[in-house]
A and B are shown apart, each in its own frame.
Chain A
Amino acid sequence: MIKGNFIDNLPKVYGIYTGGFLAFIIIMAIGEQMGMTSKTIGICFVAFTVAIYAIIGYLSRTAQADAYYVAGRQVPTVFNGMATAADWMSGASFVAMAGGIYFKGYGYMALLVGWTGGYVLVASLLAPYLRKFGCYTVPDFIGTRYGGNLTRFLAVVVLTVASFTYVTAQINATGTIASVALDIPFQYAVYVGLVSILLCSMLGGMRGVTWTQVAQYIVLIIAYLLPVFWISNKMGAGFFPHFMLADEVARIGELEQQFGFVKNSAGDLANVPKGLAGITKAHSAVNATPWAFISLALAMMMGTASLPHVMMRYFTTPSVKAARKSVGWSLFFIFLLYSSAPMLATLSKLSLIDPSLPTGIIGKSIAEVQAIDWYQNWNQANLMFVSDFNGNGTLELNEFFMGGKAVVLATPEIAGLPYVISGLVAAGGMAAAMSTADGLILAIANAISHDVYYKIIDPKAETAKRLVVARVLLVVIGFAGATIAAMEIQGILGSVIWAFDFAMSGLFFPLVLGVWWKRANREGAIAGMALGLISGAGYLIWVRNGGSGFLGITQLTFGIFGSAVSLVAMVVVSLITSEPSAATQRMVDEVRVPAGRSILGKQ
């Protein structure tokens, strides 16, 4: 099925797949009517989708280096866009983003702008040129453009630091969802998640990951959009929420005025379970300084353009032209979900706080709220909490607390949708976290197997041996990630943002200047990567340990400092050392035109 004219049949294959998935949802809905328990439905959703991914992973098995590293460079534009969107949208985007908007409003929405605007940089500065280069990995480009094993090695170091920070968060997310859906302890669920992730990538490498990511995108986008549209219609807010929620947004503003944001005392807050928050920020008003907003958006945009697991997706397209278009499609598919997250946050918030809606709980008596079924369920899951701080027996806005994940996970239930939707949302969250984890683990394993093992340690290794090394690394890195995820050190969103900052500190300018500045040389790149990463990490450690920071750069935007150091170091060191060889300059010239064979294809 995967061989021969599989590529020509892609629309048909994924069309049948989508139809099959919709049929499965309907079967589950019928099952629910006939008395299937919610637990069984949850297990069916997760087990069924993971089984499909595993089958795709098995069918994509390969013994060729080209297929393993870059999916044979034959992934069509639109499908690569879908795969990139799944690669990109992690558990954080799926589960945590709407919650972040719900609680933090405008200040948080810098992430929406940052995580989309970065693709303009990817399309215009990097992707087409790296595709022309014909590399297997991002360090492959750095190593060949600047020359020498040290540049290659430093690029692998930056890649590993950034991607590993990111991947523990994703394995954590798969574990959270698996533990809820399958009802097993988190410590074991993490490894269930890991095994599912490895099933997709072990046998087929990039080829397996590509075709599972397309399948995962279809699941996650259906799982995100269906509830948003359904809730909006059920509430009578409008059949197409994106264009029709202005009244609801205004209504939230009115209610905020009416209730006011009462500040709770520290003593009262001490009773609230860890990780839950109340509504303390305005929904649609501008509540952050321009620099706070812009610096976060800028850090995320430059980080996007430096994250290797995204960049390597554009190595799989058939041509340079296709790589450019494919970036556009990626962002289109991402846009579908990102533009829906604020709508979900609006619907969720209004249905909870508006006393004139049947679902509203603010203004009801505490005892009444505590008797609601869904409140009891989510309170038990430690995601919701109410407490009568002022002792008047009525629930006030400042007395209601919720976890960020609950906005996506609990809203369908609050709005009175059937349980089958909650099962679907669990499958979607699982797909989002798995697809990103797969891309990241593969990026790390490929960089170490290709750049460190094959290019530096044993350049004569045969293909079969290289692929064995790549697969062993995949498993080792996966287990290391899962082990750290099981310790639950840092929240999902925090580590995701750090990953962007690490990547931009060490890689943004060495990548961009490699194409756009011919004078950039090896010494400059070494200084840029090493000093960028060290100063970025140093700033993070300093701020974490009580340092005051400067210029309003926080622990979420430390990459701005790191990349500035990287730029200065790279330019200064390049200019005081000799210019790159004539051969290198010719190579840069060739990278800049799409025509002709790829640089590495010639060697």
Chain B
Amino acid sequence: MENFYGFFLDNLLIIYLLAFTVLLGFEIIAKVPTVLHTPLMSGSNAISGVVVIGAILLVRLTEPTDYLTLSLGFTGIVLGMINVAGGFVVTDRMLEMFKKKKK
């Protein structure tokens, strides 16, 4: 338990960040109309590509001879980047169709 208290106090800022981001996320996304739920999902696919940042840092910190970790990192970047590029492009493609047209 001591361990847990210590963890809480040491990481107070990140815990605040978590709490506020969760609230903010719910607040913003509840405002998205049903018409846009599919683009919202594909757009959030792209955003969940943030994992690519972790994969980039992993590769940068790996010894050039550690091929196992390098391949893991390489795979991570490819997977994350498919999400990022694919997600943003397909969302844009969809949103382009949602233009207001006169009757």
A interacts with B: no
> Which B residues are closer than 8 A to A by beta carbons?
none
